[in-house]
Amino acid sequence: MNIENIRKQFPILKRQINDNSLVYFDNGATTQKPDYVIDAITNFYSNYNANIHRSVYTLGNEAENIYIDSKRAVKNFINARFDEEIIYGSGTTELLNLVANMLEQELTVDDEIILSSLEHHANFIPWQQLAKRKKLKLKILEVNKDGFISLNELENSITDKTKIVSLTYASNILGILNDVEKIGQIIRKKNKDLYYVIDAAQAAPHIKIDVQKIDCDFLAFSAHKMCGPTGIGVLYGKKKLLERINPVKYGGGMISIVNDKDSSWAELPNKFEAGTPLLAQAAGLKAAIEYINNIGLENIEIYTKELTRYLLSKLKEIEGLTIYGCHDVSKRVSLVAFNLENVHPHDLASFLDARGICIRAGHQCTQPLLNRLEVFSVARVSLYFYNTKDEIDIFIQTLKETKEFFNNELF
Ligand SMILES: Cc1ncc(COP(=O)(O)O)c(C=O)c1O
């Protein structure tokens, strides 16, 4: 991997922010886009733009082929068995809400849903509200000090009443990776009929996902966190389930026959994609997958783990700095959440911004976890393959200056 060359392919990395070179460390929120992806979107609008589904002219058919190719690229990216198992929506949040709404028809009073305290609000609130609506029991698995759920506790929590287990693949605060394959085996052993749902928003940019090995029923992620455009995400669903479940969004493109009294549904996956599909976004997502495949997810993983190892070692040298989650980089993705004594994360982020460094600060959409950590807010650095050790050095130096500034202010 030639990082210098790679960096040249991301136009935004040439930017100056507040008279400093941009140091972009907020990749967990969204990643930057290479020319390859930007060009694919421009190319779609410049040369192929037309609506699809039942188009009877060449341009529409060409646009449809791009959409179909995009789905095929996603199918291969996550090793799904069938093209029809790939559904597009606006992102992980929308798609996890979609799964919750789809599964509502399968649930009755007293059924149980299992989540963990690690979940992003996108994989927490849809289930919490579903549980309230349908009078279901919500069980929340606690995590240990490193951030891992106990697989024994998970096994013991699953009963005949458990209908859904929905867990994150990688935590957006602690960075830890759940052993989703092992969890899949436990789930199938205990209760074959329950739905296993995975929020892969923070995993898809970093590690090879294999939905057949995991044996999950649904899995969602967002293109914008892996060099793709905003406004498109992927929902994988097992074909035999998608065939059985009724759609929950209605309109054009998702029907077979409509009369005054009733409607019947289109074949998969159109049944779950009401309205004009995400066409230009699909072209961008396809390009993002090609771009990432070209670099190689294994290379991305090796490089970003090395960066994370370096970042952790430098952070550990700073007195009064608390790092959340396990320090073993083999068990985590490349993001690190922390707090610096006497400095509010928002103050820290503003100070860093003045030097052109972007990090995230706040509750990071994980209030249930932060309640357990007994903090209101954390700072988070999240790295991707175009970041460098030099950037980490700049960040660490500025962090030290911030600490000094606030300590002098206070005492
Ligand atoms: C673990 C996790 N799940 C879900 C989401 C929501 O993703 P999106 O905002 O793309 O819908 C995020 C976003 O940060 C996330 O980190």
- Residue 153 burial by CB count (10 A; 0-12/13-18/19+): exposed, middle or buried? middle
Per-residue pLDDT of the chain (411 residues; tens, 9 = 90+): 899 999 999 999 999 999 999 999 999 999 999 999 999 999 999 999 999 987 899 999 999 999 999 999 999 999 999 999 999 999 999 999 999 999 999 999 999 999 999 999 999 999 999 999 999 999 999 999 899 999 999 999 999 999 999 999 999 999 999 999 999 999 999 988 899 999 999 999 999 999 999 999 999 999 999 999 999 999 999 999 999 999 999 999 999 999 999 999 999 999 999 999 999 999 999 999 999 999 999 999 999 999 999 999 999 999 999 999 999 999 999 999 999 999 999 999 999 999 999 999 988 899 999 999 999 999 999 999 999 999 999 999 999 999 999 887 655
Residue to probe by mutation, ligand 1, list 88, 172, 176, 384, most atoms within 8 Å of CB: 172
Query: How far apart, in Å, are the Cα atoms of 192 and each of 113, 149, 299?
Result: 15, 21, 36
**What pLDDT shows up at residue 406?**
86
**Of ligand 1's atoms, which has the minimum distance to the CA of residue 93?**
11
Tell me how far the alpha carbon of residue 317 lies from the centroid of ligand 1, in angstroms: 31
Query: How far apart, in Å, are the Cα atoms of 101 and each of 81, 131, 314, 358, 381?
Result: 24, 11, 45, 36, 33
Asked whether 202 lines ligand 1 (CB < 6 A), one says yes
Q: Which two tokens stand for residue 183?
A: 């969890």
Cis preceding linkage at 34, omega within 30: no
> Is 227 a catalytic site residue?
no
**What pLDDT shows up at residue 411?**
52
Q: Is 24 helix (H, G, I), strand (E, B) or coil?
A: strand
- Do residues 48 and 66 make contact, with C-beta atoms less than 8 angstroms apart? yes
Residue 338, strand partner residues: 323, 379
Tell me how far the alpha carbon of residue 267 lies from the centroid of ligand 1, in angstroms: 29
d(CA 103, CA 7): 43
User: For 254, which DSSP code?
Assistant: S
The alpha carbon of 360 is separated from its chain's Cα centroid by a whole number of angstroms, namely 16
d(CA 298, CA 158): 34
Asked whether 163 lines ligand 1 (CB < 6 A), one says no
Asked whether 222 lines ligand 1 (CB < 6 A), one says yes
Helices 389-410 and 345-353: crossing angle in degrees, nearest 10, is 120
**What pLDDT shows up at residue 289?**
98
**H/E element holding 161?**
none
**Of ligand 1's atoms, which has the minimum distance to the CA of residue 91?**
11
d(CA 153, CA 167): 14
Asked whether 89 lines ligand 1 (CB < 6 A), one says no
Q: Which two tokens stand for residue 268?
A: 């998969």
Residue to probe by mutation, ligand 1, list 198, 222, 332, most atoms within 8 Å of CB: 222
Q: If you compute the radius of gyration of the chain from its CA atoms, what whole number of angstroms results?
A: 22
Q: Is 297 helix (H, G, I), strand (E, B) or coil?
A: helix
Asked whether 200 lines ligand 1 (CB < 6 A), one says no
Asked whether 93 lines ligand 1 (CB < 6 A), one says yes
Asked whether 166 lines ligand 1 (CB < 6 A), one says no
Residue to probe by mutation, ligand 1, list 95, 120, 206, 230, most atoms within 8 Å of CB: 120
User: Token pair 């922390």 is at which residue?
Assistant: 338
Asked whether 234 lines ligand 1 (CB < 6 A), one says no
d(CA 38, CA 228): 9
Residue 167, strand partner residues: 198
Asked whether 168 lines ligand 1 (CB < 6 A), one says yes
Tell me how far the alpha carbon of residue 122 lies from the centroid of ligand 1, in angstroms: 6
Asked whether 125 lines ligand 1 (CB < 6 A), one says no
**Of ligand 1's atoms, which has the minimum distance to the CA of residue 94?**
11
Ramachandran angles phi, psi of 89, nearest 5°: -150, -170
User: Token pair 């039942």 is at which residue?
Assistant: 54
Residue to probe by mutation, ligand 1, list 169, 365, 382, most atoms within 8 Å of CB: 365
User: Token pair 């370096």 is at which residue?
Assistant: 310
**What pLDDT shows up at residue 409?**
63
Helices 125-134 and 92-104: crossing angle in degrees, nearest 10, is 20
d(CA 230, CA 19): 27
**What pLDDT shows up at residue 1?**
86
Amino acid identity, position 230: T
Q: Is 190 helix (H, G, I), strand (E, B) or coil?
A: helix
Of all protein residues, whose CA lies closest to atom 16 belonging to ligand 1?
172
Tell me how far the alpha carbon of residue 186 lies from the centroid of ligand 1, in angstroms: 26
- Do residues 113 and 129 make contact, with C-beta atoms less than 8 angstroms apart? no
- Do residues 278 and 232 make contact, with C-beta atoms less than 8 angstroms apart? yes
Q: Is 236 helix (H, G, I), strand (E, B) or coil?
A: strand
Q: How far apart are the first and last CA of the chain?
A: 47
Query: How far apart, in Å, are the Cα atoms of 330 and each of 177, 204, 229, 240, 302?
Result: 9, 16, 29, 35, 10
Which pTM was predicted? 0.97
Asked whether 120 lines ligand 1 (CB < 6 A), one says yes
**Of ligand 1's atoms, which has the minimum distance to the CA of residue 233?**
10
